[in-house]
Amino acid sequence: MEYLKRMADYLLQDYLEAFGAVLIEGPKWCGKTTTAEYAAKSILKMQDPDHREEYLKTAATKPSFLLQGEVPRLIDEWQDAPVIWDAVRTLVDKRCEPGQFILTGSNSVDKSKILHSGTGRIARMRMLPMSLWESGESTGEVSLDELFNNPDYNIDGKRSDLSIERIIFAACRGGWPASMNVRSDRAKLMIAKNYINSVCTEDISRIDGVKRNEKLARMILMSYARNISTLAKKTSILNDITSSGNINCSDETLNSYINVLERLFVIQDIDAWCPSIRSKTAIRSSVKRCFCDPSIAVAALGQTPDSLKLHMKTFGFIFEQMCIRDLRSYTTDMDSHISYYHDRYGLEADIVLHQNNGRYALIECKLGSRDIDSGASHLLEIKRLIKEFNKKEEQVKLREPDLLIILTGGELAYTREDGVKIIPLGCLKN
């Protein structure tokens, strides 16, 4: 089976050059262990059924024995023996060399058994499901890095090979590496459904040992899916869940379930960008509801590629999730973060992509070409308001956006006369 290179491969090497150990975090099935194995020189799998009991006994008496081996040494499912964390930290301090260990596993660890945080010794690295570029579906003809760094970069005429039908299928299938190893389309679509089953029946209770209701977990995911890419408040989600009268759920219970789903990296909401370009009271600051992968929303709603072809408005929200996932993947090495802008006058930018050096892009996600003009007008108006603000502001001026981008499901990339970049998601890369 051919290994598909990931953005995480390059990021992991950077972390290993800088830190003694690296903990790879992210949603289950996103490829954490495979990526770690690709970089490791020796491997210890704590859940190996032939040796598990031996490993646990060794961890209880002399955990340092488990760390012996060529470096970087991978300790997979390290949380089965939490003492390994402190053993890794101790050995990193003793050796004083980078690139010693890679840790992978779930977030279900008993933190009371960990003495030290690992700060400065064990770096945390996030992984996501695969982007379209990583899965080989984006042509990669437009580089996000070049867009930021090269003012003369010409995107005109760059193309995507993805039809709307293929984009819909890719969103339904998701960026799960396991789906790349099966042949039939039907089998590919089963991965996300099984993912939800696993989360609701096992992971949501296993993470902290608290027994939770599978039915309630599914209903929360379904409500989240109905509200993806929106600013729906928790009260709206709660009303949605309880409206049928078939299940009871309090504010406290809902918060606990959402917190667990965040710890499992299933839910990854986006915060608001709140510059003072208008009255502060006009800024909407609720989080935007998001999943780690668009396929979770599709599976939670019980949709299929065929059904979504008849519900393109719904798919527009799912397409935005796909854009967010890919942008997160492409900007991991830029130390970036994502927010959104939306004020009460209706002015918005679906995504604000911030780099660590202060540069940022305002981005709208428009599946079809008919909405490009309205999306461009939103981005240009935000830029105009920032300019007007800076004329009046004497002390702390706002940086103007470095890029105005509309991500589309179309085929052709180009730059409009007003400077807005129109880029098909199917031709974007890091």
Residue type, 36: A
Average pLDDT over residues 408-423: 97
Last residue of a domain, one of 76, 96, 126: 126
Cα gap 271→284, rounded to integer Å: 10
pLDDT value at residue 119? 73
Alpha helices in 227-338 (DSSP H): 234-242, 251-263, 294-301, 305-309, 312-330
Residue 46 lies inside a defined structural domain of this protein: yes
168 and 95 together in one domain: no
Please, what sign has the CA dihedral across residues 31, 32, 35, 40? negative
Q: Within this chain, do residues 394 and 361 fall inside the same structural domain, yes or no?
A: yes
pLDDT at 117: 65
Q: Is residue 26 part of a domain?
A: yes
Closest among 218, 217, 341 to 288, alpha carbons compared: 341
∠ CA 146-166-196, nearest 5°, is 95
- Both 84 and 147 in a single domain? no
- For the segment 29-42, what is each residue's pLDDT rounded down to a tens digit? 999 999 999 999 99
Q: With bands split at pLDDT 50, 70 and 90, how would you rate the model's confidence at 299?
A: very high
pLDDT on residue 401: 98
More confident residue, 270 or 112: 270
Contact present, 336 and 281 (Cβ < 8 Å) = no
Structure tokens at 168: 């819909």
The number of domains in the chain is 2
Give the bridge partners for 73, in sequence order. Answer: 42, 101
Q: What is the mean pLDDT of residues 116-144?
A: 91
Whether the CA torsion 241, 203, 208, 175 is positive or negative: it is negative
- The pLDDT tens digits of the residues spanning 318-333 come to 999 999 999 999 998 7
Q: Are residues 390 and 279 in the same domain?
A: yes
CA distance 353 to 349: 10
* Domain assignment present for 262: yes
Q: Express each pLDDT in 219-276 by its tens digit.
A: 999 999 999 999 999 999 999 999 877 888 999 999 999 999 999 999 999 999 999 8
What is the DSSP pairing of strand 122-126 with strand 21-25?
parallel
Which residues are within 8 A (CB) of 194 and not within 5 positions of it... i.e. 6 or more apart?
Answer: none
Q: Does residue 135 form part of some domain? A: no
| Residue 111 confidence (pLDDT) | 63
pTM for the structure as a whole: 0.94
pLDDT at 335 over 90: no
Say if CB 386 and CB 401 are below 8 A apart: yes
* Residue given tokens 């032939």 in the structure block: 50
Instruction: Tell me the CATH number at 70.
Output: 3.40.50.300
Type of residue at 107: N
Distances in Å between the Cα of 150 and the Cα atoms of 143, 144, 329, 413 are 10, 10, 20, 17
pLDDT tens digits, 355-396: 989 999 999 999 988 899 999 999 999 999 999 999 988 788
Q: Is 122 in the same domain as 198?
A: no
198: left (phi over 0), alpha (psi -120 to 50) or beta: alpha
Please report whether residue 137 resides in a domain. Answer: no
Domain range holding 196? 142-429
285 and 413 within one domain: yes
Are residue 43 and residue 175 in the same domain, yes or no? no
> Which residue do the tokens 């060529």 mark?
70
Output the CA torsion 213→179→41→100 (10° steps).
Answer: -40
Q: Which of 300, 290, 301 is nearest to 326 (CA)?
A: 290
Same domain, 379 and 306: yes
What's the start-to-end Cα distance of the chain, in Å? 25
Question: Looking at residue 291, what DSSP letter applies?
Answer: B
Q: Which residue has the higher pLDDT, 281 or 174?
A: 174
172 and 81 in one domain?
no
134 within some domain:
no
Report residue 271 as tokens: 């915060």
Whether 258 and 173 share a structural domain? yes
Does any domain span residue 255? yes
CB 11 within 8 A of CB 332: yes
Same domain, 95 and 198: no
In sequence order, the 6+-apart residues with CB closer than 8 A to the CB of 192 are: 172, 173, 174, 176, 293, 295, 296, 298, 299
**Same domain flag for 238 and 196:** yes
Question: Per the domain annotation, does 369 fall within a domain?
Answer: yes
